[in-house]
Structure 1
Amino acid sequence: MTLNGKICVVTGGASGIGLAIAKHFAGAGGKVALADIDIEGAEAAADELGQDHIAVEMDVTDPDAVQRGIDKVVDTFGGVDVLVSNAGVQMVKRVEEFEYAEWNKIIAIHLGGAFLTSKAVLPHMYRQGSGTILFMGSVHSLEASALKAPYVAAKHGLLGLARTIAKEGGSKGVRTNVLCPGFVKTPLVEKQIPEQAKDLGISEEEVINEVMLGETVDKEFTTVEDVAQTALFLASFPTNALTGQSIVVSHGWRMD
């Protein structure tokens, strides 16, 4: 799988899944813009990747910041071929305990960020007649878990947005898919373990083995490398045969 100099934007690229995807894209010959609200982290990651890669400061909930970031990518590289909308946060509470501001924050980052970054890159992709957009969904794009109402709602919404863009962009050479990982042991997930244990009244070991990994075939967490390799496959896929799809990467937790 090769990207042959394709220009790739990865939001949330300074760490975790985003950084793993950026590394795989760079290793496959892509030119990567690591977009992150943590500009220092993004700059350090871009330096690690090498001279063909840049850091872009971006708050994906701010339309002006998103447009400035994509403008910088286009000014630097001349276009955009691949967008990975990956930036995300998580809070674990029951529905009645969520503040409306917390709900809005999670929806704005996951779903609003996907919309704003897509809106910014699509004119460039349409002009060149090609492009790939990947949304970082979740198994929670396809089913629900307790304590994650805004996250689950946002991840479900990504499916609708991706399929709409796939319909609108197909004749213009743009395809859109949603990556749906299971539990990936990033700091975002590790933080949830004691929170869920407290709320559900069970041990942290039970949260891991029953809540998070209970439906997998091997009791293994999905890794950032699992997700990054799948992202590279989708980014390098040559035709519209794969568009508007949800691709589950979950060690068998969810089987469609």
Structure 2
Amino acid sequence: MTLKDKACIITGAASGIGNAIAHRYAKAGGKVAIADIKMDAAQAAADEIAKTYGTEAMAVEMDVTSEDAVNAGVQKVVDAWGGVDVLVSNAGIQIVNPVEDYAFADWKKMLAIHLDGAFLTSKACLPHMYAKGAGSIIFMGSVHSKEASPLKSAYVTAKHGLMGLSRVIAKEGGKKGVRTNVICPGFVKTPLVDKQIPEQAKELGISEDEVVSKVMLGQTVDTEFTTVEDIAEVALFFAAFETNALTGQSLVASHGWYMN
């Protein structure tokens, strides 16, 4: 599958899943914009991709909770490459706590990054995709887009919300050539997940090994983490799939943790 000369924006791409997607898109011929709040890390990632694959890559400073920052970042890509073909809304964080102890400020922060970020980046990219008559928007959901776990009220709420937003954009954008999809990973070994292990061990009163073996991987078929490379392949599949046949759909990649 190819993304030759396609202009791709990936948020939160300086590290983790977003970075793996950026590498995979560049390998497939795409021009990659590393949109991240950490500009130094974004520039380093863009430089590495350009050197490795010989494709165009740029760093874009972007706070996905700021409409002005999102609009400016998207415009930078449009000015450089003439439009936007693929958006991957991937930026995210995790904060875990029981509902009764969940700070309202943390709740708002979680929803702002995951949901507002997806909305604002989609809103900014859609006019450019409509002008071309084609485009792909991919949201980074989770198994928690379909399932719930203790301590993750804001995260689960946000990831469920992405499913609804994706379906609305699919309905609105279909006749204009824009399709949307949601990738729903299980636990992927990233710094975001590493951070959760001691936090959940403390909250649940179990060892860190038990958090991994029982809470995170206990319901998989092989007690294996999903990898960033797994998710990058799914992201390429959705981005390069050119018809509306799969628009509005989600795909779970979780080693059998969740099946539907």
For the pair 1:227 / 2:223, whether they are aligned, the reply is no
Q: 2: CA distance between counterparts of 1:46 and 1:202?
A: 40
List aligned pairs for 1:81-96, cutoff 5 A.
Answer: 81-96=85-100
Q: What are the within-5 Å matches in structure 2 for residues 26-41 of structure 1?
A: 26-41=26-41
Q: Distance in 2 between matches of 1:90 and 1:64?
A: 24
Q: Quote the residue 1:110 is aligned against.
A: 114
Compute the displacement of 1:201 (Å): 1.1
Counterpart of 2:15 in structure 1 is: 15
Tell me the distance in 1 between the aligned counterparts of 2:202 and 2:113: 26
TM-score by length of 1: 0.99
The residue that corresponds to 1:238 in the other structure is: 242
Give the counterpart letter for 2:24 in structure 1.
Answer: H
- In the alignment, the residues of structure 2 paired with residue 216 and residue 98 of structure 1 have an alpha-carbon distance, to the nearest angstrom, of 28
**Which position in structure 1 is the counterpart of 2:5?**
5
Q: Secondary structure at the match of 1:65?
A: helix
1:161 to 154, 159, 165: 165
DSSP-derived class of the 1:115 partner: helix
Cα distance in 2 for residues equivalent to 1:38 and 1:6? 24
CA shift at 1:198, angstroms?
Answer: 1.0
Aligned to 2:168, the other structure's residue is in SS state: helix
Alpha-carbon distance between aligned partners in 2 of 1:4 and 1:239, rounded to the nearest angstrom:
17
Matched, 1:126 2:130: yes
Task: Flag structure 1 segments of 5+ consecutive residues without an equivalent.
Answer: none
2:106 aligned partner, one-letter code: E
Structure 1 vs Structure 2: percent identity of aligned residues? 70
CA distance in 2 between counterparts of 1:93 and 1:253 reads: 22
The answer to which of 44-53 and 73-82 deviates more is: 44-53
Superposed CA deviations along residues 190-242 of structure 1, whole A, max 9, x for unmatched, are: 11111111111111111111110011111000000000011001100121001
Deviating 4+ runs (over 3 angstroms) = none
Alpha-carbon distance in 2 for matches of 1:84, 1:156 = 17
CA distance in 2, matches of 1:194, 1:65: 33
**TM-score under structure 2 normalisation?**
0.98
Helix, strand or coil at the partner of 2:87: strand
Unpaired segments ≥5 residues, structure 2: none
* DSSP 3-state at the match of 2:242: coil
Shift of 1:147: 0.3
